[in-house]
Amino acid sequence: MSDKKIFTNNNGGPVVDDDNSKTASKQGPTLIEDYHLIEKLAHFDRERIPERVVHAVGSGAFGYFVLTNPEIKKYTRAKVFTELNKKTEVFVRFSTVAGSKGASDEVRDPRGFAVRFYTSEGNLDIVGNNTPVFFIRDAKKFPDFIHTQKPDPITNRNNPDAQWDFWSLTPESIHQVFILFSNRGTPYGFRHMNGYGTHTFSFINEKGDKVFIKYHFKTAQGIKNLTKEEQAIIPGKNPCFAAQDLYEAIERKEFPKWKLYIQVMTLEQVKNASFDPFDDTKVWPHGDYPLIEVGEMVLDRNPRNYFAEVEQAGFTPANIVPGIGFSYDKMLLGRLFAYSDTQRYRIGANYMQLSVNKPHGCPMFNYMADGHMTENEHIHKINYQPNSIDAYEFMKHDDTTLVVDEKFAPGYYSQDDDYYKQPAAFLEVLKKQGGTEYDDLVSNLANSLKLASKTSIERMLAHYEKVNAQFAEDVKKIINA
């Protein structure tokens, strides 16, 4: 066999000429029998898949996770969190939320922080953000919220009043809006920010005991945010600043690291909590529910093909493993359907067969073998269940079904819920940090809010009065300046 690299069609057949189309004569016309031309153009026409509705601008890297605290096994029997010092392969995708493909990755926006663990029991996805809370707490509001962040349907331009109109009518968003317009809303790349699972999940141990948990990834690189001056310049000067910073750090072997922690709440603590623990617009106070170290995550390999390994990556919080379950978090329960559904639309019904998405640490068997772009190598004698011809065994493990218990399973949220206590506490944290943190939040927020309508401004200031009267006055001064 020759060592020469022969240029071929996709079927492996050699191509004679990749520069000139076959024509009926020297001047044409072009012949449809030029299969290489047709294949090349047809592939080019389909090189782009529908972009993500949100999180379209992103970067990714591979690495590993190592458990450092074997005591976690008292909360869960998931092997990834019980086998001490075992390396588990991970893939992480960082992203902005609102921008379309080609937008800068250093704008004021929450950052997606999606982690996939390729465990020996299946893929575990933790699909969160760099903020511990979110804007809304019910998936029914999600399409409306995202519409306010996207171009106006008439002008095709961003509409500041749409954002502030929605936020002023959705007071549970105040906490996240404060975080967004603080300096945490413009992190310095992807390496210098924390990641959070955002939602409440459940852990189940060997005995079947259940607790509820929240995930926290703490950056070992230290928190670093862009200054106002940097944020005004960098997105225009280098729209891929965060992507470049991540890629080059890994190439230099300065591998980014994060420590994984969890917060734990027992069923009894849930029932006695002074707030709704399943409301993703709320944080769990660390003084009451301290962080417990789990392990360390290291990213040490850049993707070899961005499209194949980052663009085609499809995450979903529905990907869990034995020992981990869901909670009564309404946003989480809505995402269990929405994320998988959007990947089927964006990539195809068999998106989980792609290399970046399929399980790496264990085999995958079921009867879903057909459909567009299937790569399933398993040949079945039949394709139905139950059967006695080519059947698989079923492993009993934790039942993730949520028990309806009015003592700790909330129904519709009341209209007199406390929207203001935790945002007020966030302002106190900024003041204690000193420097310009508090003033920057006031300035960033006021300069954005003043672009909204008078009605939206008045509604928003009324909310801020209930958070902190002085803060409302500080914002009002800049708006009226």
CA 104 to chain centre: 17
Q: Catalytic site residue 216?
A: no
Q: Catalytic site residue 11?
A: no
Q: Is the dihedral of CA 426, 431, 434, 438 positive or negative?
A: positive
Over residues 60-117, the pLDDT tens digits come to 999 999 999 999 999 999 999 999 988 999 999 999 999 999 999 999 999 999 999 9
Over residues 154-205, the pLDDT tens digits come to 999 989 999 999 999 999 999 999 999 999 999 999 999 999 999 999 999 9
The residue ranking higher by pLDDT, 272 or 132, is 132
**Whether 439 contacts 450, CB under 8 Å:** no
Three-state secondary structure call for residue 53: coil
Over residues 242-268, the pLDDT tens digits come to 999 999 999 999 999 999 999 999 999
Kindly report which listed range (42-46, 129-133, 288-292, 298-302) carries the lowest average pLDDT score. 42-46
**Whether 196 contacts 219, CB under 8 Å:** no
Question: Average model confidence (pLDDT) for the chain?
Answer: 90
pTM summary value: 0.91
Over residues 107-140, the pLDDT tens digits come to 999 999 999 999 999 999 999 999 999 999 989 8
Catalytic residue among 55, 175, 199, 463: 55
User: Which two structure tokens, joined as six digits, stand for 177?
Assistant: 């809006």
Catalytic residue among 36, 123, 129, 444: 129
Selection from 77, 76, 10 nearest residue 44 by Cα: 10
Average pLDDT over residues 6-15: 80
Q: How far apart are CA 454 and CA 79, in angstroms?
A: 55
Cis-peptide into 29, omega within 30 deg? yes
Q: How far apart are CA 13 and CA 477, in angstroms?
A: 72
The confidence band for 378, taking pLDDT boundaries of 50, 70 and 90, is low
Q: Is the dihedral of CA 80, 297, 299, 286 positive or negative?
A: positive
Average pLDDT over residues 30-59: 85
Q: Does residue 411 have a pLDDT over 60?
A: no
Percentage of the chain lying above the pLDDT 90 cut? 67
The H-or-E segment that residue 333 falls in is helix 330-346
Average pLDDT over residues 309-330: 93
